């Protein structure tokens, strides 16, 4: 099957990350014939990051699957109302409903371990080096250091911004639930996946399943693409 007949894959990363967080998944999808592109979100405002997804949609051919990790789930929930989007894949992701914020979702459950290892400075929310073990503890020690070295700190108010529209109410969704997550609690992920009626795949993984379990994540994206093709 030619690549042009398959949905394109557009990624939206979360906080403390950038597009390179999908660097192990993208080659697997490209080898399977999928066109891929990742946003580089500013993590300044939700509207700006949603706009980045819309721009990325304009650079790919045909309909698209949106893939959101962590805070990126909020981004694709808003951007996914675009007519060019045919499906949504959430990876350990937040998925607020209309009028909700990421912060209000996180507060449904006791705060995860990583939030004891953050610092607000210059208006940004930084992860301390000690936080890497809770963010991506199933990666090698060297990979954890690399993840921390490139971590992208969000605006301190980012999690308090409300979503204005909710794509998962009208479009099919898939959810990779990370069972060893110390950033977005698995119980919260279960609640969100059930609420949206997502097809769930569990990953024996930390928060960064894209790096620790790339084949599993790629397989879920391919299943989603096949389902909407």
pLDDT tens-digit profile of 139-185? 999 999 999 999 999 999 998 888 778 999 999 999 999 999 999 99
Pair 66, 53: CB distance under 8 Å: yes
Per the model's pLDDT, the better-predicted residue between 85 and 108 turns out to be 85
Q: Where is average pLDDT lowest: 68-82, 112-126, 152-166?
A: 152-166
Average pLDDT over every residue of 55-61: 96
Bridge partners of residue 178, in order along the sequence? 203
Average pLDDT over residues 120-126: 97
> Which residues, listed in sequence order, are joined to residue 194 by a DSSP beta bridge?
none
Predicted local confidence at residue 1, as pLDDT: 36
Q: Is the predicted pLDDT of residue 2 greater than 50, yes or no?
A: no
For position 76, what pLDDT does the model report?
97
pLDDT in tens, 192-225: 999 999 999 999 999 999 999 999 999 999 999 9
Domain locations in the chain?
3-228
3 pLDDT above the threshold of 60: no
pLDDT at 99: 81
Under the banding of pLDDT at 50, 70 and 90, the label for residue 4 is low
Q: Residue 98: what pLDDT?
A: 83
Residues in Cβ contact with 1 at an 8 Å cutoff, skipping those fewer than 6 apart? 33
- Beta-carbon contacts of 121 under 8 Å, excluding residues fewer than 6 positions away, are none
Superfamily of domain 3-228: Alpha/Beta hydrolase fold, catalytic domain (3.40.50.1820)
Question: Does pLDDT of 5 surpass 90?
Answer: no
Q: Are 100 and 169 in contact (CB under 8 A)?
A: no
CB 173 within 8 A of CB 88: yes
- Annotate 61-84 with b (16+ C-beta within 10 A) or e (fewer): eebbbbbbbbbbbbbbbbbbbbeb
What's the confidence (pLDDT) of residue 162?
83
Residues in the chain: 229
Q: Count other C-beta atoms under 10 Å from residue 114's C-beta.
A: 23
pLDDT, residue 154, reads 97
Q: Is residue 32 scored above 90 in pLDDT?
A: yes
């Amino acid at each position: 099957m030619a690549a042009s007949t398959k949905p394109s894959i557009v990624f939206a990363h979360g906080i403390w990350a950038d597009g390179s967080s999908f660097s192990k998944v993208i080659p697997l999808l490209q080898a399977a014939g999928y066109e891929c592109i990742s946003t580089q979100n500013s993590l300044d405002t939700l509207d700006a990051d949603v706009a980045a997804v819309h721009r990325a949609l304009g650079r790919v051919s045909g309909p698209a699957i949106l893939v959101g990790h962590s805070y990126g789930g909020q981004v694709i929930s808003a951007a996914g109302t675009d007519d060019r989007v045919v499906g949504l894949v959430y990876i350990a992701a937040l998925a607020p409903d209309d009028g909700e914020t990421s912060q209000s979702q996180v507060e449904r459950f006791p705060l995860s371990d990583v939030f004891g290892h953050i610092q607000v400075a210059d208006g940004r929310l930084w992860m301390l080096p000690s936080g890497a073990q809770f963010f991506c503890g199933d990666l090698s020690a060297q990979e954890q250091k690399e993840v921390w070295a490139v971590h992208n700190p969000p605006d301190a108010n980012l999690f308090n911004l409300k979503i204005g529209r909710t794509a998962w109410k009208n479009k099919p969704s898939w959810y990779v639930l990370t069972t060893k997550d110390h950033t977005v609690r698995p119980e919260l992920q279960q609640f969100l996946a059930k609420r949206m009626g997502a097809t769930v795949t569990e990953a024996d993984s930390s928060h960064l399943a894209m790096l620790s379990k790339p084949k599993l994540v790629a397989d879920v994206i391919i299943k989603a693409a096949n389902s909407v093709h």
